[in-house]
Amino acid sequence: MLANRGYAIAYITDEPVGWGITTQPLAPLMSGTGRPDTPRDRKLPPDVGTNRWLRATVSNREQQLPWLATWETYRATVLAASTAQLAMFPGAEISASTASQTHTGHHNGHALAHGIQNLTGPPSAGTFETIGLRYGWFLPNTLLSNINLNQFGVSSASIAHPTGRFRWPLFGPSPDYQRLTTVRYDGFELMSGPLQTNFAPSASPMEAWRREIVANLAQTFLGNGFPSARTGSDWGGDGSQFIDISYFTFIGLPSRPSDMRHLLQDALSASLRAGRTIASRLGGIAALRLRNTQGTLQEIGSRFTMPVNATVSGDIVLRAARSGTYTVRIIENSSGDSGLTEARTSSGLATHQQTHSLTAGQTIVIPVSFRFAGGQRAFHVVVEHSSILANDIIYTSPIFIRQ
């Protein structure tokens, strides 16, 4: 399914065991329920240990423990599913909550763990119950810290589906927005799951994302992470075979192997930590590049300095996934203003956007130039597409400039 949709990388983030289990300590297992069924004729009795058998036989989660996969088995199975066209990597989805390390109740959201080496964390950092990634509720800072420590300098966290009931503890609805997270994280899902219907810049995930970019500016310029633009399918569970996997995250890699089985997970993890990502609803791509004081084009995720009132120039490379009209804007988030401030295009400050009529597969390069007003600022591109059938929308991660 993934290969047929044109994906080159799939990151599988299943949940570690813990939900609904009160026994401590928990074994470091993955919570996927056993093996898939193999008989083609569903009238046959299910094999012992398969999903169907567990659902029909096991009355509680703790009884499933003997049938659940270890991290090592899960990791090996995901990696072995890679093909020349598609690289498969293992990660995990962990719960965040306002309660600390309990094993029951409702969580408030998920963080996705990328680049981790296991579920237990480094032995030098503590015990499994204190720094591990079991699926028991964690306070936001504890959760993000445990992910970052798992393979220090490689592993990273991103915020999953920050909307609805699972909006994550730090993203309350405006004006009750509060920022509870002080620990580094490196990604933010702007598009997630099969139920999201609003992808506009005014949607709550996008508003929270811009606020987080601004709130984190000082730390970003110190070399810490920032919430790069991501997407996720949240695909799994009963009935998921009838739901299409949606959305794309484009990742800037140093190089792309001809055989995707040769892509190293650490190389992918480095690009994710660097925030070199673009979120796209239908597969269109827009890459922002801005020149530094030396005249060198800097890619998404870059940070550099410029004099106040200097002219910043560069371009936007736009490739259309669908035919139709594309509206292109550069959004500036400056310190003290977390909303949509001024959109700058090559037409100058008086005109805040450009429109282009493109056919599917067409690529254009749009020159941009604007004045840098000083301070600490982040610039990202929003592309809104309209057509008769389905509308695409694209968000790039920012480029950061300070005086």
Flag whether pLDDT at 209 surpasses 80.
yes
pTM, entire model: 0.91
Average pLDDT over residues 176-191: 82
> What is the arithmetic mean of pLDDT over 303-330?
95
pLDDT at site 190: 96
Per-residue pLDDT for 22 more than 70? no
Q: Who wins on pLDDT, 217 or 61?
A: 217
- 41-50 pLDDT per residue, tens: 667 778 888 8
Q: Which of 372, 272, 296, 297 is nearest to 330 (CA)?
A: 372
Among residues 286, 294, 382, 285, which one has the least CA distance to residue 332? 382
Between 9 and 133, residue with greater pLDDT: 9
Q: How many CB atoms lie within 10 A of CB 8?
A: 16
Cα gap 229→286, rounded to integer Å: 12
pLDDT greater than 50 at residue 368: yes
Predicted confidence (pLDDT) at residue 341 exceeds the cutoff of 60: no
Q: What is the CA radius of gyration of the chain?
A: 22
- pLDDT of 213 > 80? The answer is yes
| Whether the Cβ atoms of residue 300 and residue 288 lie closer than 8 Å to each other | yes
Give 241 or 67, the one with higher predicted confidence. 67
Other C-beta atoms within 10 Å of 115: how many? 25
CATH 2.60.40.3880 is held by the domain 284-403: yes
Whole-number average pLDDT of the chain = 85
Domain ranges of the chain: 2-32+68-280, 284-403
Which range has the top average pLDDT, 63-67, 258-262, 340-344?
A: 258-262
* pLDDT tens digits for range 232-251: 998 876 677 778 888 999 99
For residues 126 and 179, which has the higher predicted lDDT (pLDDT)? 126
Cα–Cα distance between 68 and 57 in angstroms, integer? 15
Q: Which residues, at least 6 apart from 27, have a Cβ–Cβ distance to it below 8 Å? A: 17, 65, 68
Cis preceding linkage at 45, omega within 30: no
